[in-house]
Structure 1
């Protein structure tokens, strides 16, 4: 057999054909390529619009340093890349991230909140791991749902989630979406709002206390701000009634937004609320709340919804976004006239939760617009530093700038949540997702080839010869991550015993636990009255203290029962 000479090209082709090693191979992840796919085509729309004009004027005088300066300006804000999350069917009204930046919660007008775990997502599995209906376990009718106005993580540990809907009762959930407490609803037939134990109408906004992890405040359409303690859900801790001077004899108006200033950086503890009558009211955060520390009657136009309200990190500046198409900056040390006012189209008439936020270090102000653009403003002049399109044609409702991740999150009217970031200055969050290998798609991931049996039909139905329940043999549903879960996210396990349907009478009948928690000393109904009175007489004299000092003096001789019987027996003997 003749000798065959192999060239270098043949050897290279052979190595490409033959495997270099055997066994299971680790799939390498090209992180840079995945991040590059998320690069945004348009970062600053203003610069792109003026590029053609500037190019003709600066062709002669341009140098290499000008391009570097433009890149440095763009890198200042985390907006060069984006990651899209589409888990809601309707407008996203609120976005919350826990302090660590791993748990993302979004609220929507579809009356649900979605829980996302940023540390467990991959580029091909960007979805919510749990869907929660805040009113699913409420004592009212199961069909009653309300749009979500605001979701707020506790700023200290992130272990508690405050959920505010278009309903008078606030709800406290765990970070996994489980209900902890539902706070009290007030009596709507009481005229004085100081005497009600909770809101009597819809809650519009809320905020946690900046330093006390047990306190939060809610603003309602009943013209009140109510401060709550998480340890007591039956009654608010304090009530602040805003008496409007332009609302006629009733003196009531709707509170549209509230913010609680932080004294961490040297400022005062201040509570600020905005009302529908156009006023902006400030109170001392530690109380007393009988009289406001400052009030501006015509901060915004009357009967316009001031949806955006936020305070700077030092507690000295207040930014408001009104329904009168203006953004105004206020100084709490001179709470009379706005420091700066600029025009900005409002979306609060259609989306009353449209907000405005200071950046973590209060060096910038961010807000959305009706055209779907993100506006980053200079807080001194309120002039735009950057205008970037996020969801063009769909209003941008809510924004949030996380301090630890250095990433901006936005929620739009089309149900899209967008995470804006910069690989050079941002940390974790979206970068954690993009640093993982895409999950390989399985046959079960395609709903066209997979069916699921209704788990409720498997509980008590007879099994057909084919292995399917007879009642559910023709009933299939598409495979979905939330299949087999209730509205609150709990499992529909067919092995659990069937609970009878709750009748309307049973819904309105309080159980023993509710009676013990709401009615003081209700547990004494099961005690013997004589023994109970003796017990309290020997301890704190709860029921006999009234006669301790005013007990009348006996005039006649007090006979014992035994002596009385002997006396009557002696009388009968004499007769």
Structure 2
């Protein structure tokens, strides 16, 4: 036998494993401990496939080693005459070749996983949920501890502060015309498909971005509250209902197309205790939907109460919250709002105070109460929670805007001044990432354009100033999904600002569409065309209403069976046509062919027929022909001959 070949006996491989050969196994174990996703606890399909590939490669290597041991021990050929002889040096060379390949495959898989993790990290426009933010903070802290990059993170934060101006979507501008009066209310659909606006002229307009063209015209306009200005509008969390707050005491809920679904009850104004009434008794000032309950909303009015309404069928209030002044007297709430998780209700009052209530407790006592939040006696027109829920922004008629921290609610974090507001519905809003605060101003005297201001919530500096219009800026809306800014003005216009790169859908769908005008068709008639039913003989009567048919039948004397007209003397009557006497009328109707002249002598008219009657008697003569004596008529005397004297009788004496 040759040296270096073994046919039987104990196997001892004097092959020293290098640290390089042991390193992949230790790293793989370390990776399995650090990343629970790699162990298959919650990874995706791609990660499981890669792990299976690694396991298959390791199983193949183990099978090769076990097969080699069996062949060396001669177990596979036990009982045969001659056992196979294997060269150990050759097997060692094979192991040295396969081991680097396994290490290279593992390194390639790790690089692929790291690359996919980098691809999954994208820029998020909207706000992150609190859980995700906490996880991100933990991961960043661990990474900074492992890599010792505290200085780098501080540099990145400073760069982010400098790049806040680039995050504002105002590269392009589109204008929508609501009317000629100030637009006091503005609300956007959560999905970003529609926009509604309400004005001081009682009108409410619906804007559909998918159906509009570059003309930017609303597809519906209505007056939901008759002769009351629209003060506030807001979509529900699902986007299928709209809360309408107007100048009257009854809030309304409309569906997506503007049809009324609910009208709140009105309370009894003669009851002094407002908790005993079924609804508000004074003008509404503000209202908002519950953040995640689609049938619950909050309203505030000038009767000193905030009311929570639940359900569209019951139309009943769930809770009545009373706002109190410093001396215990009644004060009115000018604005109200829920925080993001609906655990807190905040109200800005007309006396300049901020009052909050915890929804998990009784609404008897306030959770926070800052009496001198703004100048005493000035109305707080807007109160807005941040998306993270830790900060609160208020806007007042004292030309200030303040930022508050709910964890330290005694003093404001910062106060911005010289923000003139003319309307009691002027508001402010947070950016979707809570890094900026947006506020508009009314047009002051001596200024040609009203501006829109952007302030940083960390450094409190002015980031950007955008001139909007030559009128007042009333409402501002930064849609988190579209990343577009909507601003309502005092001259009835609504301006939309967007970025071509960072904004999506919304107004970008409308500006690319052009309005096509229909071309008028010109047709010259050459020959006369007669349709089959055009002639009067074949023309069918048009279907008329029953009233017109009755009027037409009334004019027809045959269909209406009109009675005979009364007999009147003179011309025009029935008697006048045949004579002036009744006898002439009777003779006319007896069938005489000749007309009777009433002006001639009756005797002559009768004697005219004497010869005909003597020759051809018809009526009287035939009856007395046998017994009729001979008629003797007196003869006429001459005119000069005197008449014979009558003899005297005894009676004359």
For Structure 1 versus Structure 2, the TM-score category normalised by the shorter chain is 0.5 to 0.7
**8 Å Cα contact 2:374-2:398 kept in structure 1:** yes
> Does residue 1:366 correspond to 2:438, yes or no?
yes
- In the alignment, which residue of structure 2 is the partner of 1:185? 266
- In the alignment, which residue of structure 2 is the partner of 1:142? none
- In the alignment, which residue of structure 2 is the partner of 1:154? 236
Q: 1:441 aligns with which of 493, 510, 517?
A: 517
Q: CA deviation at 1:443?
A: 6.1
- In the alignment, which residue of structure 2 is the partner of 1:307? 381
**TM-score, with length taken from structure 1:** 0.60
Could you list the runs of 5+ residues in structure 1 that have no partner in the other structure? 1-68, 137-144, 445-457, 464-575
- In the alignment, which residue of structure 2 is the partner of 1:117? 208
Q: CA deviation at 1:74?
A: 4.9
Q: CA deviation at 1:360?
A: 1.9
**8 Å Cα contact 2:435-2:458 kept in structure 1:** no
Q: CA deviation at 1:152?
A: 0.2
Task: Evaluate the alpha carbon distance shift between residue 198 and residue 73 of structure 1 in structure 2; reply closer, same or farther with a 3 A threshold.
Answer: closer
Q: CA deviation at 1:75?
A: 3.5
**8 Å Cα contact 1:260-1:285 kept in structure 2:** no
**1:58-137 → structure 2 map (5 Å cutoff):** 74-124=165-215, 126-136=216-226
Measured against aligned partners, the alpha-carbon deviations of 1:403-425 in whole angstroms (never above 9, x if no partner) come to 11000000000000011000010
**8 Å Cα contact 1:269-1:315 kept in structure 2:** no
Measured against aligned partners, the alpha-carbon deviations of 1:527-557 in whole angstroms (never above 9, x if no partner) come to xxxxxxxxxxxxxxxxxxxxxxxxxxxxxxx
Measured against aligned partners, the alpha-carbon deviations of 1:28-51 in whole angstroms (never above 9, x if no partner) come to xxxxxxxxxxxxxxxxxxxxxxxx
Measured against aligned partners, the alpha-carbon deviations of 1:262-300 in whole angstroms (never above 9, x if no partner) come to 12xxxx721110111111001113332111111011111
Write the distance in 2 (CA, Å) between the matches of 1:428 and 1:228.
34
Write the distance in 2 (CA, Å) between the matches of 1:423 and 1:462.
63
Measured against aligned partners, the alpha-carbon deviations of 1:277-326 in whole angstroms (never above 9, x if no partner) come to 11100111333211111101111112212112100112211100111111
**8 Å Cα contact 1:150-1:205 kept in structure 2:** yes
**8 Å Cα contact 1:308-1:320 kept in structure 2:** yes
Q: 2:395 aligns with which of 321, 344, 360?
A: 321
Write the distance in 2 (CA, Å) between the matches of 1:209 and 1:104.
19
**8 Å Cα contact 1:197-1:234 kept in structure 2:** no
Q: CA deviation at 1:116?
A: 1.0
RMSD of aligned C-alpha atoms?
A: 2.5
- In the alignment, which residue of structure 1 is the partner of 2:506? 429
Write the distance in 1 (CA, Å) between the matches of 2:403 and 2:426.
17
**1:492-571 → structure 2 map (5 Å cutoff):** none
Paired residues, what number? 362
Q: 2:463 aligns with which of 375, 380, 385?
A: 385
Q: CA deviation at 1:461?
A: 11
Write the distance in 2 (CA, Å) between the matches of 1:202 and 1:85.
29
Task: Evaluate the alpha carbon distance shift between residue 375 and residue 460 of structure 1 in structure 2; reply closer, same or farther with a 3 A threshold.
Answer: farther
Write the distance in 2 (CA, Å) between the matches of 1:276 and 1:70.
36
**8 Å Cα contact 1:310-1:356 kept in structure 2:** yes
Write the distance in 2 (CA, Å) between the matches of 1:413 and 1:262.
30
Q: CA deviation at 1:151?
A: 0.6
Write the distance in 2 (CA, Å) between the matches of 1:210 and 1:231.
17
Write the distance in 2 (CA, Å) between the matches of 1:129 and 1:461.
38
- In the alignment, which residue of structure 1 is the partner of 2:276? 195
- In the alignment, which residue of structure 2 is the partner of 1:287? 361
Write the distance in 2 (CA, Å) between the matches of 1:119 and 1:198.
38
Write the distance in 1 (CA, Å) between the matches of 2:545 and 2:472.
46
Task: Evaluate the alpha carbon distance shift between residue 286 and residue 207 of structure 1 in structure 2; reply closer, same or farther with a 3 A threshold.
Answer: farther
Measured against aligned partners, the alpha-carbon deviations of 1:374-399 in whole angstroms (never above 9, x if no partner) come to 111112343321100111x3110000
**8 Å Cα contact 1:409-1:417 kept in structure 2:** yes
Write the distance in 1 (CA, Å) between the matches of 2:182 and 2:340.
30
**8 Å Cα contact 1:368-1:397 kept in structure 2:** yes
- In the alignment, which residue of structure 2 is the partner of 1:451? none
**8 Å Cα contact 2:298-2:307 kept in structure 1:** yes
Write the distance in 1 (CA, Å) between the matches of 2:515 and 2:245.
35
**8 Å Cα contact 1:370-1:394 kept in structure 2:** yes
**8 Å Cα contact 1:79-1:422 kept in structure 2:** yes
**8 Å Cα contact 1:327-1:344 kept in structure 2:** no
Task: Evaluate the alpha carbon distance shift between residue 389 and residue 232 of structure 1 in structure 2; reply closer, same or farther with a 3 A threshold.
Answer: same
Q: SS at the partner of 1:283?
A: strand
Q: SS at the partner of 2:407?
A: helix
**Which structure: greater helix fraction?**
2
- In the alignment, which residue of structure 2 is the partner of 1:554? none
- In the alignment, which residue of structure 1 is the partner of 2:454? 376
**8 Å Cα contact 1:340-1:381 kept in structure 2:** no
**TM-score, with length taken from structure 2:** 0.53
**1:332-411 → structure 2 map (5 Å cutoff):** 332-347=406-421, 350-371=422-443, 372-391=450-469, 393-411=470-488
Q: SS at the partner of 1:307?
A: strand
Write the distance in 1 (CA, Å) between the matches of 2:547 and 2:496.
47
Task: Evaluate the alpha carbon distance shift between residue 381 and residue 307 of structure 1 in structure 2; reply closer, same or farther with a 3 A threshold.
Answer: farther
**1:221-232 → structure 2 map (5 Å cutoff):** 221-232=302-313
